[in-house]
Chains A and B, each alone.
Chain A
Amino acid sequence: MLAAGLTLLTATAAALRAQESTATTNGGVYSEAQAERGKAAYVKNCQSCHGETMNGVDVAPALVGATFLGNWVGLSVGDLGERVRTTMPQNNPGTLSAATTADLVALILKANGYASGATDLPRDGQLQMMIRIADPKPGG
């Protein structure tokens, strides 16, 4: 079981490394089902501070729109995942699993207009580091 998992991981990593110079968030890097899971996790863990429309409320910033993108475009998905995983939710950080974190990042990508694809965003932070957050293609 473990060997199969590692093989899958290696294959995925290799596939990504092959596209390393071009893997961006415009390449369909998460799945619709994953974003749905992310939505459920968002309501449970994040909505109380970041708002039901992800536009932020009082102390917490928006997770969509030009302000958010201005801070994250150019960085990697892994940077965003790391930030979520280690500091969120603010009153209980470090409690989100890697899987839940990836689902939440998928939701954030969807909310910012990046199109979904066939496969889930990997839960491994190192793999996420290989995906660059690019300017979204609007109208998607």
Chain B
Amino acid sequence: MPISRRTLLSGSTMALLLGRAAIARAAAAAPDTEWRYYAADQGNTRYSPLDQINAQNFNDLEVAWRFRPDALGSRREYQFEATPLLVKGRLFVTAGARRDCIALDAASGELLWMHRVDEGQRALNSPRQLSGHGCAYWTDGTRERILYVTIGYRLVCLDAATGIPDPAFGTDGVVDLKQDIDQDLDPLTADIGLHSTPLVVRNMVVVGAAHTAGDVPRLRHNVKGYVRAFDIATGRRRWIFHTIPKRGEYGYDSWVDSDADTAGNGGVWAQMSADEELGLVYLPVELPTGDEVGIYRRGNALFGDSIVAVDAETGTRRWHFQFIHHGIWDCDPPCAPILCDVPHEGRIVKALAQPTKQTFLWVLDRTNGKPLWPIIERPVGKGDVPGEWYSPTQPFPSKPAPYDVQGVSPEQVIDFTPELHQEALELLKQYKIGPMYTPPTMSRLGGPYGTIAAPGAQGGTNWPGGCYDPELHTVFIYSKTQPSVLGIVENTDTAVSDFPLLHGIAGQAPRPQNAMGSASSALRPDPESAPPPRPNPPGAQPSSAHPLAPPGQLTVQGLPLLKPPYGRITAINLETGDFRWQIAHGETPDYVRNHPALKGLKVPRTGRAGNLGPLCTKTLVICGEAGYFTNPQGVRGAMLRAYDKLTGEEKGAVYLPAPQSGAPMTYMLGGRQYIVLAISGGSYSGELLAFRLPADA
């Protein structure tokens, strides 16, 4: 009698018929699991209760299969950031430089179907290229659909069984997302796209919006990143939420004058979460136009740098919380809030935990937005940028404590040797430093070239987000320590931007920042060549034989300015708000280990800077490394590491030929547990790698 779910369910009958050995075998064959959302569920916990792979056997993992998307798209992709979904033995993911949507056999990696949309110039003009973070799955128990957003910002709905577009959805299975967005957009050139996956909620799919990164915004009046929900059966728009309020809408008055009318961006480029029981969708909203210069979006400017809970059926705001008032540090919420039910003061609170670039984990009641631990508005300093609006205070959570370096002080700079430390202190003299929320400063030749901000503009934590263990009520988050220089320069070149002030470094020509295609490139005059970087700015007296790094480069003899860890994983216990553990994640880079200035020194593992999302299982926290290193055998690669979820102790590590570039996922299929992740980097093009234990384990 074949062992299947049905036979397992009729256990007593089997006991009579088959005897003990067969029962043992049947018990060992665990039921298949699913992975229906980007991070496991609508709450983005990236958690699975599987434990076939555990601390004792992690090092025995073998590559079950590998899938190379090289043949997809017109060239190879080296930044493969997707996480696949798994439903009934099939993996669904977006892959390749054209962002094709594909289905694979989850046991063998065989390609089952692929769907592509050739969007021509519209795709080349998109601000969000390559394969993105994946797709979404919907079912009513009988029909199955896969939904994904193309590079050119179209929403496609496919039959999951065949990959064929659903003719009942939109026009031949496609909804043009540049239409029906309460704005007039040029379909070819409008600055809007998406990397994150859409989110299925009930019988709708919710779609975010992303734009060109806003350091040097081309236009003041950029596209507004409104969020919409569409009906999965028909593709009709069900609701829209104005992340930048219109006149008369809630939040409009948090802007000075009519700034809300003209500012753009304010999209939701992060993954979203939803609680279908509560009927709420949670939107992490980015900054309006101008990441470091807020002169055209004065005031607190809701809903920039906020989380908004909207009604799942109507898109109406129910509550919101702003993480940073009038943010000018490019620290917009980068990932989904993790939905978690935690014991707090004698009861279970339906909470959410939002990891952020600035490395606060904000823990709020997700029914009403109230914080679990007090949040204190504290005064912060004003800056020197003419015309800028500064918030007098910023919110600081009392718990949990920040999980990475915040603010810059002399104690935080490199100190492997006294000489390196001294050089770092010399470098600091060219910049403004201070605590968190020290504003960007005007960049001046000879210094200060800007404010050194830690966390930097990429965080901290970024798009893959964290994971959550429901048994320990603990969030596990990866963050990197990578400061940025926030300098502001004047701009008179309207071809570059219509902002008079831009993020930049004195002495360098302001440059256009748009990812638009060749059509708009033709409209731009050739920018003048910038002068070469000056190794020794006038006035600086380096105390060592080594020249200081050029302005804007935060390195000391090529080594990172701030001391390690450069990348870490922190376990935060939501029952108490305290850390369970924090470890450096990622082997020391070769260039650090082999650096002549560190010769003879024993440097502990430094961790590695990158954008990583860890996976949580019943016993392990699993995460690949962000960069290459060369092991003692001379083999170049990265490791997939497993840590004990309770203690953070490393329990195992298996070889990856390239760094983790997409967050891992896991599933049980045919009695075997798989771990699947996307890897890529350097000269290694994207690959989907599947691990499982040997058959005789």
Contacts and interface: CB of A to CB of B under 8 A. Distances in A.
A43 B511 contact: yes
Contacts of A86: 75-76
Nearest to B556: A138
A52 B511 contact: yes
Contact of A92 (B78, B518, B609): B518
A66 B592 contact: yes
B216 A48 contact: yes
Interface size bucket, B side?
Answer: 35 or more
Given A53-B533, A56-B458, A65-B560, A83 B609 contact: no
B124 A87 contact: no
A122 to B, nearest CB: 18
Given A39-B532, A53-B552, A71 B682 contact: yes
Contacts of A47: 511, 530
A44 B683 contact: no
Given A53-B505, A55-B552, A66-B559, A135 B527 contact: no
B560 A58 contact: no
Interface string A8-46: 000000000000000000000000000010011001100
A92 B124 contact: yes
Contacts, number: 153
Given A135-B590, A135-B594, A138-B558, A57 B533 contact: no
Contacts of A73: 590-591
Contacts of B590: 69-70, 73-74, 135
A74 B589 CA distance: 12
A10 B509 CA distance: 40
Given A57-B213, A86-B76, A49 B530 contact: no
Contacts of B509: 43, 52
B508 A53 contact: yes
A68 to B, nearest CB: 9
B125 to A, nearest CB: 7
B504 interface: yes
Contact of A80 (B77, B547, B557, B683): B683
Chain B CB count within 10 A is highest, among A66, A73, A79, for A66
Contacts of A58: 213, 215, 291, 330, 457-458
A75 interface: yes
Q: Main SS of chain B's interface residues?
A: loop
B12 interface: no
A79 B76 contact: no
Contact of B76 (A40, A75, A87): A87
B514 interface: yes
Nearest to B596: A138
A41 B126 CA distance: 22
A82 B682 CA distance: 11
A91 interface: yes
Nearest to B195: A59
Interface string A77-96: 00110110011001111110
Contacts of B630: 74
A97 interface: no
B591 A70 contact: yes
A139 B595 contact: no
Nearest to A94: B75
Contacts of A48: 216, 511-515
B683 A70 contact: no
B597 A138 contact: yes
A52 B529 contact: no
A40 B124 contact: no
A91 B129 contact: yes
Contacts of A72: 682-683
A124 B129 CA distance: 28
B477 interface: no
Contacts of A67: 589, 608-610, 627
A47 B129 CA distance: 17
7 contacts: A48-B511, A49-B515, A53-B508, A70-B591, A71-B627, A73-B590, A92-B521
Given A52-B508, A138-B596, 16 more contacts: A36-B532, A43-B527, A43-B529, A48-B513, A49-B515, A52-B511, A53-B508, A58-B330, A58-B457, A66-B560, A69-B589, A74-B628, A74-B630, A75-B682, A87-B75, A87-B97
Interface of B: 75-78, 97, 124-126, 129-130, 213, 215-216, 291, 330, 457-458, 484-485, 504-505, 508-509, 511-518, 521, 526-527, 529-530, 532-533, 545-547, 550-555, 557-560, 566, 589-592, 594-597, 608-610, 627-630, 636, 659, 681-683
